[in-house]
Amino acid sequence: MESRRVGILGIQGAVDKHALLLKATGAEARVILHPEELKTVDALILPGGESSTISKGIARLGLREPIQDFVRQGRPVLGTCAGAILLSKRCRNHPVPTLGLLDVTACRNAYGTQVDSFSTGADPGGESQLARMRCVFIRAPRLEDLGPAVEVLLRVDGWPVLVREGSVLAATFHPELADDPRVHALLLKG
Ligand code: GLN
């Protein structure tokens, strides 16, 4: 069953850009700032931004357990960049409290301070629907120590940049900034 109402955590990040891409896939976007609002959506996006700030916002708004329950019930979630950090089970390099929903270690700001933002192409090869994806990285994390259930959908320079574990999708780049709805379409397929 395709999800049609998608929540976007509204604490920080490119909420509008995510909403535009969701509309392009035919879904309805709703900004989420309160636990009750999660009951009105079928899927959830955790945008990029600063994971430390978003993590504090999640705690302040009482959203930690409701988001964990939402995802553990099998509903699809997509985390982009800081959102991917927040989904991870483990975090290093200035660790932040995470939601523990994706069996990876997120290493924050792993591309260093000099080359901290860049855009590059990724291609999984073959007939993949993700061919020739433009990936925008902004002070991105790297995903390491992937658990056995984590599937790598895209790599850049050998590093996983788009992964899936069950209904959990995480991108270390910003699909919402490349005007390409294919990652959002994956979320909607759940
Ligand atoms: N560097 C940020 C962090 O560690 C993530 C940056 C982003 O989301 N673009 O939280």
Confidence of residue 29 (pLDDT cuts 50, 70, 90): very high
Q: What residues make up the domain containing 33? A: 5-189
Strand partners of residue 138: 117
The predicted-structure confidence for 172-187, as pLDDT tens digits, reads as follows 999 999 989 999 999 9
Spatial distance between the Cα atoms of 74 and 57, rounded to a whole number of angstroms: 23
pLDDT value of residue 83? 98
Are 3 and 187 a contacting pair, CB within 8 Å? Answer: yes
- In Å, how far are 24, 26, 41, 88, 143 from 29, measured between CA atoms? 11, 10, 9, 24, 28
Are 78 and 169 a contacting pair, CB within 8 Å? Answer: yes
Spatial distance between the Cα atoms of 90 and 114, rounded to a whole number of angstroms: 25
pLDDT value of residue 113? 67
Domain count, the chain: 1
Element (H, E) at 187: helix 182-189
The predicted-structure confidence for 130-184, as pLDDT tens digits, reads as follows 999 999 999 999 999 999 999 999 999 999 999 999 999 999 999 999 989 999 9
CA of 90 to the centre of ligand 1 (A): 15
50 pocket-lining for ligand 1 (C-beta < 6 Å): yes
pLDDT value of residue 1? 46
110 pocket-lining for ligand 1 (C-beta < 6 Å): no
Query: Cβ of 131: how many Cβ atoms within 10 Å?
Result: 14
Strands (E), the chain: 5-9, 28-32, 43-46, 77-80, 88-92, 102-107, 117-122, 133-138, 142-144, 151-156, 159-165, 168-171
pLDDT value of residue 3? 53
The predicted-structure confidence for 101-123, as pLDDT tens digits, reads as follows 999 999 999 987 656 788 999 98
The predicted-structure confidence for 89-104, as pLDDT tens digits, reads as follows 999 999 999 999 999 9
Spatial distance between the Cα atoms of 68 and 158, rounded to a whole number of angstroms: 30
115: buried, middle or exposed (CB in 10 Å: 19+, 13-18, 0-12)? exposed
User: Which ligand 1 atom sits closest to the C-alpha of 49?
Assistant: 8
pLDDT greater than 50 at residue 30 = yes
Instruction: Say which CATH number the domain at 117 has.
Output: 3.40.50.880
User: Which ligand 1 atom sits closest to the C-alpha of 50?
Assistant: 10
CA dihedral sign of residues 102, 33, 137, 50: negative
